[in-house]
Structure 1
Amino acid sequence: MPVFLVLFLVVPLVEIYLLIEVGQIIGALPTIGLCVLTAAVGGALLRQQGLDTLARARRNLDEGHVPALELFEAVALAVGGALLLTPGFATDVIGFACLLPPTRRLLVQFALRRVNVVYGPAGRPGGGQGDRGRRDPRTIEGEYRRRDSDR
């Protein structure tokens, strides 16, 4: 519940406060222009960084490696792009942090230290990386022959 409280109550209130403060300093139209400018620059940066990340992922796949880091970076890019499209300055700061390579890598490494990544067959108990070569005890092997009733 606290996450939703922050997302839907605290973040918009902080954004409104910052927009009002910046608007009082530089004026309403320049503030709106600044919001539009950050969205445009963020969109261009998102496209460029997304293509770079996609190229690295393809290169890793071609070399036979799992592009795990690139997948997490793609998630960070998507979050950053969404935050940059949200009007406001606090979300823009976080959005640009997700788009710039050095800070994005720090954010991804921070997230990876806090999650346990297991890959392998989905929905299978213990189906992680170290489970290769073992058979699923629920699998029954056998042969069958189709017998039609009219023959």
Structure 2
Amino acid sequence: MRILMILFIVVPALEIWALFEVGKLIGGWQTFALLLLSGFAGAYLAKREGLKVWANAQRQLSAGQMPAQSILDGICIFAGGLMMMAPGFLSDVLGLLLVFPLTRPIFRQALNAWLRRKLANGGTFRFYRW
């Protein structure tokens, strides 16, 4: 819980610092335009990749297969799309890596390994209330 609280403080501070640095380099309006462009590009990419994964999952289900990989891809695309639509350049980079088909398998494998470890240890998934 402490790590989550620290992340909620450190990550926005880093995002603000990056925005100021980019603003110093290219100017305020250009930075603002770049933020808007990255948000719209993130929404477009997440939608496009999400539709591909959805179609793949439907094909697997119609063939009688469990679409486990497609589900993990969908989680990565959803998280990446949210990050790309949030203002900030650091979250945009991580979001792009999650959405982009060539780098997504790295995150999918990490998510798969985490889920397997959690289930193998008899762990449960908890959702915290604030």
Tell me the TM-score normalised to structure 2 length. 0.86
Seq. identity, %: 32
Aligned counterpart, 1:4: 5
Once the two structures are TM-superposed, the CA of residue 3 in structure 1 deviates from its matched residue by 2.3
- Number of aligned residue pairs: give it: 117
Q: Which amino acid aligns with 1:70?
A: S
Aligned counterpart, 1:61: 61
Q: Which amino acid aligns with 1:27?
A: G
Q: Which amino acid aligns with 2:91?
A: T
User: 4+ residue stretches of structure 1 with deviation over 4 A?
Assistant: none
Tell me the TM-score normalised to structure 1 length. 0.74
Q: Which has the higher contact order (CA 8 A, sep 6+)?
A: 2
Q: Is 1:76 the counterpart of 2:76 in the alignment?
A: yes
Q: Give the unaligned 5+ runs of structure 1.
A: 119-151
Q: Which amino acid aligns with 1:5?
A: I
Q: Give the unaligned 5+ runs of structure 2.
A: 120-130
Once the two structures are TM-superposed, the CA of residue 115 in structure 1 deviates from its matched residue by 2.1
What is the RMSD of the two structures over their aligned residues, measured on CA atoms?
A: 1.2
SS at match of 1:115: helix
Which of structures 1 and 2 has the bigger CA Rg? 1
In 2, Cα distance between equivalents of 1:30 and 1:12: 21
